Amino acid sequence: MKKYNIEKKVTIDGKRYTIRADSMEEFYIKKANKIRDIKEGKVMITGSMSVRQWTEQVLAVYKSGVSDSVLKDMKSRIEKHIMTPIGDLPIKSIKPVQCQMILNAQAGMSFSHVSKLKHELDFIFRTAVQNKIILENPAADLVLPKNEKGKRRSVTDFERAHLLKVFDQFYPKFNLFELMLKTGCRPGEAIELEGRDIEVRDGKSLLHIRGTKTANADRWVPLPVDLYEKLKDKGPFEPLAPTEKGTKCSQTTYYRLADRLRRELNISMGCRVYRNQLVPPYPLSEDFVPYCLRHTYCTDLQKKGVDVRTAQYLMGHGTIAMTADIYTHVDDSQVLDAANVLGAALPEGLPDGSVANI
């Protein structure tokens, strides 16, 4: 590699660049050319460019067809978790251990979050290999750290009572989760809902869920009267589940909101608080995740006698098998109802859990 007489770092539009030259005259010419290229949007694609510079390039080129909301969440996640530790380093200098450390820092986060970040690390460096910027992908063999993979179960009656209490107490902070419980929408669908999605037909309040996950995701669902009364005065383009600033949630704010919901549920259930910290034991079950609310909506449909085909439409499932899988889950209350129907009721006064020779 050629050695230059002059090597200086310059700041252009808030970013640092290294310019090498044999004379000051050449230095100023190269600096002027660099400023011109940056202003014209020309970026030299080399292994010396930073991870941030390369990521900006590939997101613009390879993710141009991604929806605005998905791209916004992706950029937010990348900026916070990838760019902060390695964004200003040369892309050719990144080692596998650095990528694994980034992923390990997400231990305890949701399976969805950790998996997305793993995919994004792989995307950034895989495309660099494809474009011959680097020889090997340092994110090729990353191992997922321990994460929270929520179970898809219905909430208990105890949990439901406290959910409804918290929804009312902190309205509209937890609108997103109330929409999931009462209309069955996915978290991403709830985030996108606006005032224009509410409609009244034949005296019935309906909600237009503009889902995109499956071919059946775009659908109209009943909007319970109590929720309709809370939301009916929203402006056409006003989010139904806004942040405290009145804007749409991002993936990051969604996770923070989910943590806040768990905290408020624990407090509502009787958990003690000392110096603003929850004191164990925690009444809320560890396996509670927001997706339980959508699962609960589906099991509510089953218990109320809604046929599986209609439930498939209301849930926005791609196949009836997905709905039928939930419809085949049987809980204790249904077993006890069946016991009554089938004449398995025991004599009065027999203690629960005891065995009698009848």
Rounded CA-CA distance 207/233 in Å is 14
Neighbours of 155 (CB within 10 A): 19
Closest C-alpha among 321, 296, 295 to residue 309: 321
> Does one domain contain both 230 and 169?
yes
Summarize pLDDT for 252-307 with one digit per residue, the tens. Answer: 788 889 999 999 999 999 999 999 999 999 999 988 989 899 999 999 999 999 99
- Spatial neighbors of 135 by CB under 8 A, at least 6 apart, are 129
Rounded CA-CA distance 94/89 in Å is 8
- List, in sequence order, every residue forming a beta bridge with 19; answer none if it has no partner: 8
Structural domain containing residue 69? 47-149
Rounded CA-CA distance 43/56 in Å is 11
> Does one domain contain both 200 and 128?
no
Residue 355 lies inside a defined structural domain of this protein: no
Residue 310 lies inside a defined structural domain of this protein: no
> Does one domain contain both 86 and 176?
no
Summarize pLDDT for 314-329 with one digit per residue, the tens. Answer: 999 888 888 888 887 6
Residue 297 lies inside a defined structural domain of this protein: no
Local structure of residue 5 (DSSP, 8 states): S
Residue 30 lies inside a defined structural domain of this protein: yes
> Does one domain contain both 94 and 200?
no
> Does one domain contain both 73 and 174?
no
E strands, 79-223, in order: 198-201, 204-210, 218-222
> Does one domain contain both 135 and 193?
no
- Token reading at 335: 């077993």
Radius of gyration of the chain (CA): 27
Number of alpha carbons in the 13 Å side-chain half-sphere of residue 352: 1
Lowest mean pLDDT among 61-75, 96-110, 290-304: 61-75
Neighbours of 349 (CB within 10 A): 5
Is residue 51 over pLDDT 70?
A: yes
Q: Which of 149, 175, 210 is the last residue of a domain?
A: 149
Residue 296 lies inside a defined structural domain of this protein: no
> Does one domain contain both 170 and 144?
no
- List, in sequence order, every residue forming a beta bridge with 272; answer none if it has no partner: 279
Rounded CA-CA distance 125/123 in Å is 6
What number is the average pLDDT over the span 109-130? Answer: 89
What number is the average pLDDT over the span 56-84? Answer: 85
> Does one domain contain both 166 and 281?
yes
Closest C-alpha among 145, 123, 312, 89 to residue 221: 312
> Does one domain contain both 176 and 272?
yes
Rounded CA-CA distance 61/43 in Å is 13
Measure the N-to-C terminal CA separation of the chain; round to a whole number of Å: 94
Residue 280 lies inside a defined structural domain of this protein: yes
Is residue 117 over pLDDT 80?
A: yes
pLDDT of residue 38: 66
More confident residue, 358 or 32: 32
> Does one domain contain both 264 and 204?
yes
- Name the 3-class secondary structure at 203: coil
Q: Which of 265, 290, 315 is the last residue of a domain?
A: 290
Closest C-alpha among 71, 53, 75, 55 to residue 63: 71
> Does one domain contain both 174 and 272?
yes
Neighbours of 34 (CB within 10 A): 16
Rounded CA-CA distance 294/315 in Å is 8
- Name the 3-class secondary structure at 272: strand
Determine contact, residues 69/192, Cβ cutoff 8 Å: yes
> Does one domain contain both 210 and 128?
no
- Token reading at 226: 């109590």
Q: Which of 128, 149, 170 is the last residue of a domain?
A: 149
Summarize pLDDT for 179-232 with one digit per residue, the tens. Answer: 999 999 998 899 999 999 999 999 999 999 987 666 778 999 999 999 999 999
Compute the mean pLDDT over every residue in the chain, rounded to the nearest whole number.
85
pLDDT of residue 328: 74
120-123: long-range contacts, CB 8 A cutoff, minimum separation 24: 120/74, 120/77, 120/78, 120/82, 121/82, 123/58, 123/62
Confidence grade of residue 126 (pLDDT, cut at 50, 70, 90)? very high
Cis ω for the linkage preceding 347 (within 30 of 0): no
Residue 51 lies inside a defined structural domain of this protein: yes
For the chain, what is the domain count? 3
Confidence grade of residue 150 (pLDDT, cut at 50, 70, 90)? low
- Token reading at 206: 């309906």
Cβ burial 285-310 (10 Å sphere, 16+ → b, else e): eeebbbbbbbbbbbbbbbeeeeebee
Summarize pLDDT for 25-42 with one digit per residue, the tens. Answer: 888 888 887 777 666 555
Confidence grade of residue 3 (pLDDT, cut at 50, 70, 90)? confident
